Amino acid sequence: MAIKITGAGSYIPKLIIPNQTFEKNDFYNEDGSQFNAENKIIIKKFKSITGIAERRYVEKNINNSDIGAFASKIAIEDSKIDPETIDYIIVAHNYGDVSSDSKQSDTVPSIASRIKHKLQIKNPSCVAYDILFGCPGWIEGMIQANAFINAGIAKKCLIIGTETLSRVVDKNDRDSMIFSDGAAAVILEKTNDKGGVLSHESATHALEESNYIFFGESFNTNDSSKNKYIKMLGRKIYEFALINVPSAMKVCLDKSKVDITKIKKILIHQANEKMDEAIIKRFYKLYGMEMPENIMPMSIDKLGNSSVATVPTLYDLILKGNLGDHSIHPGDIIIFASVGAGMNINAMIYQV
């Protein structure tokens, strides 16, 4: 018996936003002063650090719960289950539904209840709830679903990561170029196969680090709207991630008793290409090894950072042969890992 993913689906928005789109933006420092450098130079440096060349935004008439439902329908069809047999719908997000003409976060009813409604699931015993855990939210949802199934209180769970970060970015902040929109979902259930979830690890560092990612006003001092936008302390996050994520991944792998040489892929949250590569290099260094080639699939160059959606989107793209030469086969052992607001970290060892 194993608790395994039996279906996956993702929704990648149609609007492609290349880096050149930001050449007309007015970028400011945190103190409100304007940058001296030309935007072309700012954007070139941004690309060299993050690896992002373009990102996806949802269209004006589409919302976060919509794309979560789109991805869920694909996952349900992929798993070939009756949606009425789903016991839990767990939705990871951070900002709820934010309409294109408003900056107000709308989370009542929950995004999970909205998605259940959009899927037209009638069964009241299908419990739908949201999880706010920063970018690691989808993995944490997987951990909770695995616990429910292990405890015998659920047989099938739908776990969704969905976000429309384009609706909460400050156009006067360079970091606005990082964020994007997207959704992905999986069905997790008990099967007669081998493998599945082998181990997991989670942590929250909130003594000094809780406000490394926060909601703050625009860097443009002429903006009198008092609207708040996603903000982050980039350098502190980078340093935090490099110190803490590799060790959390090691704890997780050691718990699974899987030899590191058996790992086929590491699906890490797509936040910053250079940071992710540094994390994986440090992880392997903990075992006295060099980072293997082709171990870390990346989608950030085309899709940007869609927060909770990045890891499950990666999984779906690879599983269905839509990410270059990367592939995952039955029996392969992979690692899911993420870091984000909170500051939260988690990892999962999973055998396909």
* pLDDT at 107 (0 to 100): 93
Tell me, yes or no, whether 238 and 163 share the same domain: no
Paired with 15 in beta bridges are 57
* pLDDT at 176 (0 to 100): 94
Quick count: other Cβ atoms within 10 Å of Cβ 290?
9
Q: Which of 193, 215, 240 is the last residue of a domain?
A: 193
Tell me, yes or no, whether 63 and 155 share the same domain: yes
Nearest residue to 339 via CA among 179, 163, 137: 137
Domain count along the chain: 2
Contact 245, 276 (CB under 8 A): no
* pLDDT at 223 (0 to 100): 84
**Strands, DSSP E only, in 70-212?**
88-92, 127-131, 156-164, 181-191, 196-204
**CA-CA distance, 226 to 102, in Å (whole number)?**
13
Longest CA span, the chain: 62
**CA-CA distance, 259 to 85, in Å (whole number)?**
36
**CA-CA distance, 163 to 182, in Å (whole number)?**
6
* Residues in contact with 234: Cβ distance below 8 Å, sequence separation at least 6, in sequence order: 175
**313 CB-side CA count, 13 A:** 29
**CA-CA distance, 45 to 41, in Å (whole number)?**
6
pTM: 0.95
Nearest residue to 307 via CA among 348, 266, 269, 267: 269
Tell me, yes or no, whether 146 and 112 share the same domain: yes
Give the CATH number for residue 288.
3.40.47.10
Tell me, yes or no, whether 80 and 218 share the same domain: no
Domain that residue 68 falls in: 2-193
**Residue-by-residue pLDDT tens, the chain, 352 positions:** 899 999 999 999 999 999 999 999 988 888 888 888 888 999 999 999 999 999 999 999 999 999 999 999 999 999 999 999 999 999 999 999 999 888 789 999 999 999 999 999 999 999 999 999 999 999 999 999 999 999 999 999 999 999 999 999 999 999 999 999 999 999 999 999 999 999 999 999 999 999 999 999 989 888 888 889 999 999 999 999 999 999 999 999 999 999 999 999 999 999 999 999 999 999 999 999 999 999 999 999 999 999 999 999 999 999 999 999 999 999 999 999 999 999 999 999 999 9
Tell me, yes or no, whether 219 and 138 share the same domain: no
Contact 100, 138 (CB under 8 A): no
Tell me, yes or no, whether 39 and 188 share the same domain: yes
Q: Which of 164, 193, 222 is the last residue of a domain?
A: 193
Tell me, yes or no, whether 179 and 295 share the same domain: no
Tell me, yes or no, whether 189 and 216 share the same domain: no
**Strands, DSSP E only, in 13-148?**
15-18, 54-57, 88-92, 127-131
Tell me, yes or no, whether 95 and 140 share the same domain: yes
* Residue located via tokens 């970060």: 165
Nearest residue to 198 via CA among 155, 142, 255, 260: 255
What single-letter DSSP state applies at residue 34?
Answer: B
* Residue located via tokens 């090691």: 250
* Residue located via tokens 């919509």: 66
Tell me, yes or no, whether 245 and 317 share the same domain: yes
* pLDDT at 35 (0 to 100): 82
